Structure 1
Amino acid sequence: MSTDPPGFELPLRLFLGFRTMIDDLHAELSRQGHPDMRPMYGFVLQAIGQRGTTAADLGRTLGVSKQAAGKTIDNLERLGYIHRVTDPHDARRKTVRLTDRGVDCLTRSARIFEDLRARWAKTLGADRLRALESDLRQVTPANLFHLDVPGWFNGYQ
């Protein structure tokens, strides 16, 4: 008889680790002045990046419809994280860009993730955490910024 846990436990534990870290991130972001941030918004701000994007391109990157991307853009614009500007090459196109508040949120998120990683290292041991990260690199794609998770979760992919 095997003492290994059932196979379904591994993806659930990986997801719970992700969820725990993201929940801790958002609790700290709230304390630091970003109480309206949601996990989906983090994917959106990353996808917009420093260069900006259009609603159609954002939808493709996230794996969601242009309408879903547009609704999220509306919410983030209302919250002050992004703004729309007219494309200098095509007056019919609107480009979405991060505001200073959006950049601040991403900057704080990066620092908080460093703190969370340090907390995990303290709990697990630095060597064990590095080994875990190394092992995960071996079994996952090299592209860290696979931002289509929202669409994947919703069955668009």
Structure 2
Amino acid sequence: MSNLSRVVVPERERWGFELPLLLFAGFRSLIDQLHTELADRGHPELRPAHGFAMQAIGRDELTASELGRRLGVSKQAAGKTVDRLAALGYAERVADPADARRKLVRLTPHGQDALMLSGTVFERLRGNWADQLGPERLSELEDALETVVGPAAFRLDAAGWFGD
């Protein structure tokens, strides 16, 4: 075998702005694939911002103010999100048994179904990435990202951070 059969290509130099764009493109790719599948499986009206809100509500019952704090948005913005989720059948407002003046927000069975389905789809999408990159490289990528972002990795206030 000649020395010419193996060509080593030096790594391409990257610009600093490419890293956030690549990370965002990976995020966007996963979210777009998720929402395509959600639409195909009975949830065509869900949008990414709804997912953040539904994750923030989770299994809890909370007020719109509490939801706003979790999402990093105003009480009014959280209230609008709850209104939209309620109109779509994903959340509902119920009386607070401890204070009749307060309303609590909770997911409906339809909302819980969408959240569970999202988890299942994300597992499959992660599997697709493992198929493309190899399980070890994907694990290394996840570990490296976790090292860089630290404990703040799973914040739900992205919708508020992006702004209106």
> Aligned-pair distance for 1:8?
0.6
Tell me how far apart the structure 2 counterparts of residues 90 and 142 of structure 1 sit (CA, whole Å). 35
Deviations 1:34-66 (A, max 9, x none): 001100000000111112211111111111111
> Aligned-pair distance for 1:3?
3.8
One-letter code of the match for 2:88?
L
What runs of 5+ residues in structure 2 fail to find an aligned partner? 1-10
After the TM superposition, which parts of structure 1 deviate over 6 Å for at least 4 consecutive aligned residues?
none
One-letter code of the match for 1:34?
H
Query: Which residue is 2:94 aligned to?
Result: 85
Note the 1:116-131 alignment, pairs <5 A. Answer: 116-131=125-140
One-letter code of the match for 1:123?
Q
> Aligned-pair distance for 1:143?
3.8
Tell me how far apart the structure 1 counterparts of residues 33 and 153 of structure 2 sit (CA, whole Å). 20
In the alignment, does 2:82 pair up with 1:73? yes
> Aligned-pair distance for 1:121?
0.6
Q: Provide TM-score, normalisation by structure 1.
A: 0.94
Tell me how far apart the structure 2 counterparts of residues 34 and 3 of structure 1 sit (CA, whole Å). 42
Alpha-carbon contact 2:146-2:153 (below 8 Å) kept:
no
Note the 1:136-155 alignment, pairs <5 A. Answer: 136-154=145-163
Query: Which residue is 2:37 aligned to?
Result: 28
Return the match for 1:64 from 66, 73, 77: 73
Specify the structure having the higher radius of gyration (Cα). 2
> Aligned-pair distance for 1:144?
3.9
Query: Which residue is 1:15 aligned to?
Result: 24
Deviations 1:3-30 (A, max 9, x none): 4200110011001100100000000000
Paired residues, what number?
A: 154
